[in-house]
Structure 1
Amino acid sequence: MRIINVKEFGAVGDAETDDSEAIKKAAQSLQNDTTLYFPSGTYLVKQEGTLLVIEKLYDIKVVFDQDAVLLMDNLDSTGKGTGHAFYIKGPGENLLLSGIKVKWKVLPSSRSMGDGIMIDGPCNETGPSSIYTFKHISIENCSFENTPQTGMILMGCSNVAIKNITLKNTLADGVHLNACQHYTINGISGENVGDDNVALVTYYKAASASLYNKSSGPYAQDELGEWSNYKGSIDNINSNDNSGANGIRIAGAYHVNISNVKAQGKKAGIIIDAGKKGGTFHWEYQASKAISVHNVTAEACHVGIHVMSFNVNFEEARFWDFDVSLNNIQIANCKHDNFLIEKCSGISCNNVDSHGKRCRMINLNNFSLTNLISHRGSVIVHGLSVLAQKAGSSVMPESNISIDSLSVHEGNIQIENAKGVDVNYLYTYKSSKDNGLVFHNLQQAQFSTIISKFAGSRGILISNCQHISVMSAFIESERQKFTSIEIGGGNQASISDDISIITAAYKSDSNQNDVVLQKGKVGPKNISINLSYTTNKKQQKWKHFKLNP
């Protein structure tokens, strides 16, 4: 393989001499099966525009010595960027970028033209394909600082390996992939990244549209498929700053495994979103499928984990019907929500440990939760009924919510607005609010074991519910004035009906059973509760409540 040394073309690398022209001449001499080498030195670039262009070449290496740095000093008079450090255009194959260190001398005045590395695979009029792409790309041990746009962006590329990347003060995303396939991203460290530390984004455009059917990115797909950032893995991502963007963003992706993520101070540790244009949203993304997330730690973010759809129309499942699995999540002390899932379907959550803030899972369909423990933060689970009503439906849609184990210490649990709920175990301890457990506007819900200890004024509140079955309930209180179980009726359109608590136990310092059943025309009907309660004299008594219309 031929080696081209930039110093042989006149580059000095003394941080004072403008090496722009020498580097361009060296790059222009590149041919297939060539290495472009930067020896030790600081290479000053003062010429405006893109510095280094590689187009339609094969078997190319760009290698920086351990002490080589590309110092970009080519902002315009307003402080904005004027071009990329590296621009690589396909089609091509077998590209190695090793040890590249790019730094803009001063931070640009605003987000503007200039990526550390831009690789654009296709060169045809219909976007990426197996022929029109840049494939077999390795980018390793690189760093990017003060970039006007991204640290690196790859569009329409295939078989990509990105490893050990350091990002600082980029004004846009750190690492951005658009419409790529078969890739690994391992070891990304970002500090004060202006947008997402790592972003996988493929836009949506209907097949008949032509906006993105062109020979340069960004690219859109009309269906999730093999160019929707397909079959990738993301591992060992560290985002630590208060830049206000996200640690990882996933939009319109297909078959992605994400693991070992740490985020602090971000807008969201991880966000997975989809939706349609409108309001503040200027792009469209399809709901991502086959996304698996493992081992995430998020602290002091605005939201720890966020899955959402925006501007949703429930007749268009492509924008809200996800397939996402979230596993082994630890979140603490976020500003708004530790854990927020909203307006979507097809989410499963397993082993979530939350501290210091609430968790909300709202407007959901086909949702499952296994083993969530929240410390000093309530948990709220809502089905689809509110959104259905806003869409004009008079019938509550199926929500299909499954909860295996949910525990809250110093907070309460609310499950509302859902049809089709199956719960194995609920536990709440020392709720600072009035109610320990709240079930509101539910239909066809089954609960195996529910426990409420030391709530504010009510252990369990049930209202506007129909066809509810509780196998076993336990309530404990230290208060003299307390309601163990309260069943409210509702309104003329939705009266609580067919509610059964097969076995309930109540322990308190009161001498009463403290059960309240609302009376009146809209009071509940067809109620059955078998309650044992322990008096302040340590005597156990039984009471059967049965209420028929």
Structure 2
Amino acid sequence: MTLSRRELLAVPAVTALAVLAGCSRNGRPAVVDVRSFGARGDGITDDSEAIQSAASALRTKGTLRFPRGVYRFAKRWPPGGAAIVISGLSDVGVEFDPGAELFLDNLDPTERTGSSHGVLIRGPASRISLQNVNVRWADGAKRSLGDGIRIEGFPADTQLSGWTGPATPVDAVTVSGCTVRSSPQTGVVMLGVSGIEVTGLRVTDSGADGLHFNACQHATVDEYNAVNTGDDGLALVTYFAPQPAFDEASHTFSFPDLTEWSNQDFAVSNVNVFGCRANGVRLAGAHQVAIDGLDVVGVHSGSAFLIDSAEPGADVGWNYVASRAVRLGDVTATDCDMGIHLLARPGASGDQRFTDFDVHVDDAKLDECATWSVRAESLTERQTNGLRIDNCSITASSTAGGNGGVGIANATGITFGDMSIRHPEPVVVFSAVNAGELTIDHLSVAITRPDQPDVAAKDVVAVDHSDGVIKELTIGWPAAPSSWIPVRVSPALTVPSLTVTPPVVTSSVQRP
């Protein structure tokens, strides 16, 4: 941009500084400072117009900068749908200095519902950098419109039913050191985005998911913390439709099969989730996902790690095919309703896209899960498959639901390596019903109750209408009565090596 001296003198001083702030000098990247556009950053002044003017002045190779301060955005239903809108630009960044905060004070005063996003990126765009972005909403927001950071792209080289207009791909996005608090909807959401790097993200008290991906590819996520999110802490979800489709209202993408855009090629590490109101991590319709280092605490309405499918007609609002090539290592779950949950909701068609998973868990430590620590199930008699857990230790004390133990129902080919379960009561802690080709290398159960209960002690391992092998089964309860029968298994399931202590137990196995 070039202005004559006469043209520059003809505009107000603040506007002139703003114009210059958006210009590149000597080919160097320009820094667009929101204070140059009149933003005060005092937490009281409504800086809405200044913030949107600064964002509009951003050009290629420029950076939108927020110096230290609290920038109050009070404009409800702002143009573009967000406080900061970047559309159709590449090689740009948004950078917050330490101590800078974007304060969204634009909730409906009566309903306390949201009226805009914080930061909105729309394609076509490439090489977008968001550094230390810090967004907070006013207290008391209900779940409604308003994502902290929202990036809307397009799955390249695909034909989508419902899409109108040109493709708008977004690739090479970096989100580093960002914080979102009290967003009415999702903390950070990316749809149809490729080449993603998320590091050091923290989301607290969001109305919906903390970090959500739909139809993305080639992503790394590291050092992510989610606290008290309104839905899943981390969700990788790609929806099912009979043909590739786009939902304009939600800007979500659906596919009939796993594709290169089914949240494919994700490397996730060092994720901490505390107290969210759904699941710690959820995968639905995902492909080639590796998660290393997952710690989930206090998830009381869902699972620490849920991987699920749903065929049309399964009586759920959305549909997803089964995820495959999923690898999970070094996972801990403490004080959750459920630990690791493989859930298939197949229909009557027998379509294997909704039953055939491929999930491999290496090391898991699951403590005090209230219902199940590990659950693999199909909600119909049509069996699901595709779960292997190599090493898993469980400590539980619940005597409700699944007693905090391991449950398999309507599943085949489930494989466990070394599985240990510790429980204070002689209750069923390993259950399998309608399980085919069950394989367990070593199952160890320890009951710690120091005396005998008033009622008859139950079996702790119960396998019904199932086949397979438990190669080595070890059960111990120092206070066990001699009448205790700790194992009940189907005739088609073999137990080559069984050790029960104390040896005074007269009969260890009951077969129907």
Q: Could you say which structure has the higher strand fraction?
A: 1
Q: What does the per-residue CA deviation read over 1:291-326, in whole Å, with 9 as the maximum and x for residues that have no partner? A: 000011101100011111125446111111100001
Larger radius of gyration: 1
Deviations 1:348-394 (A, max 9, x none): 01110000132212221111110000001644342547xxxxxxxxx
Q: In the aligned structure 1, how far is the partner of 2:49 from the partner of 2:216?
A: 33
The match for 2:255 is 221
The whole-number CA distance in structure 2 between the counterparts of 1:216 and 1:446 is 51
Q: Is 1:293 aligned to 2:325, yes or no?
A: no
8 A Cα contact 2:175 2:198, kept in partner: yes
Residues 486 and 72 (structure 1 numbering): CA distance in 2 closer, same or farther, change over 3 Å? closer
Q: 1:374 aligns with which of 418, 421, 432?
A: 421
What's the secondary structure of 2:54's corresponding residue? Answer: helix
Q: CA-to-partner distance for each residue in 1:186-217, whole Å, 9 max, x for gaps?
A: 1111221111111100000011x75x266972
- Inter-CA distance 143–44: structure 2 relative to 1 (3 Å threshold): same
Preserved CA contact (<8 Å) 2:235 2:281: yes
Does the 8 Å CA contact 2:287/2:326 hold for their aligned counterparts?
Answer: yes
Distance 1:260 1:239 in 2: 11
Native 8 Å contact 1:312 1:320 kept in 2? no
User: How many aligned positions are there?
Assistant: 443
Instruction: In structure 2, list runs of 5 or more residues that go unmatched.
Output: 1-28, 379-383, 397-403, 448-458
- Describe the shift of the 1:269–1:176 C-alpha distance in structure 2 as closer, same or farther (beyond 3 A): same
Q: Are the aligned partners of 1:436 and 1:453 in contact in 2 as well (CA < 8 Å)?
A: no
CA contact (8 A) 1:275 1:320 kept: no
Determine the C-alpha separation between the residues in 1 that align with 2:351 and 2:484. 39
Q: Equivalences for 1:391-470 in 2 at 5 Å?
A: 399-410=436-447, 412-419=460-467, 421-430=468-477, 434-440=484-490, 442-443=491-492, 445-454=493-502
Summarize the Cα distance change of 1:280–1:73 in structure 2 as closer, same or farther, 3 Å threshold: farther
CA distance in 2, matches of 1:367, 1:259: 22
Read off the aligned partner of 1:72 and give its amino acid letter. Answer: L
Residue matched to 2:358: 323
Q: Which has the higher contact order (CA 8 A, sep 6+)?
A: 2
In the alignment, is the contact (CA less than 8 A) between 1:314 and 1:320 conserved in 2?
Answer: no
Instruction: Indicate the residue corresponding to 1:389 in structure 2.
Output: none
TM-score (norm 1): 0.77
How much has 1:73 moved relative to structure 2?
A: 0.5
Percent identity of the aligned residues?
A: 29
The amino acid of 1:291's aligned partner reads: V
Q: Which residue of 2 aligns with 1:252?
A: 285
What is the TM-score of this pair, normalised by structure 2?
Answer: 0.82
Partner of 1:116: 148
The match for 2:206 is 170
Which one-letter code corresponds to 2:270 in the other structure? N
The equivalent residue for 2:96 is: 64
SS of residue paired to 2:203 = strand
Structure 1 CA distance for aligned equivalents of residues 309 and 250 of structure 2: 23
Pick the aligned partner of 1:48 from 69, 76, 89. Answer: 76
Q: C-alpha deviations, 1:466-524, integer Å up to 9, x for none?
A: xxxxxxxxxx225xxx4455554xxxxxxxxxxxxxxxxxxxxxxxxxxxxxxxxxxxx
Residue 160 (structure 2) aligns with: 126
User: Cα distance, 1:25 vs. partner?
Assistant: 0.6
Q: Is the 8 A contact 1:365 1:383 kept in 2?
A: no
> Per-residue CA shift, 1:327-348, capped at 9, x if unaligned?
2100111111122121220110
Residue 175 and residue 348 in structure 1: after superposition, are their counterparts in 2 closer, same or farther (change >3 A)?
A: same
CA distance in 1, matches of 2:148, 2:486: 53
Q: Tell me which residue corresponds to 1:353.
A: 393
Counterpart position of 2:451: none
Tell me the distance in 1 between the aligned counterparts of 2:31 and 2:511: 80
Q: Is the 8 A contact 2:489 2:511 kept in 1?
A: no
Residue of 261, 274, 285 corresponding to 1:240:
274
Runs of at least 4 residues off by over 3 Å: 213-216, 277-280, 311-314, 431-434, 482-488
Distance 1:21 1:438, change over 3 A: same
Q: Would you say the 8 A contact 2:488–2:509 is kept in 1?
A: no
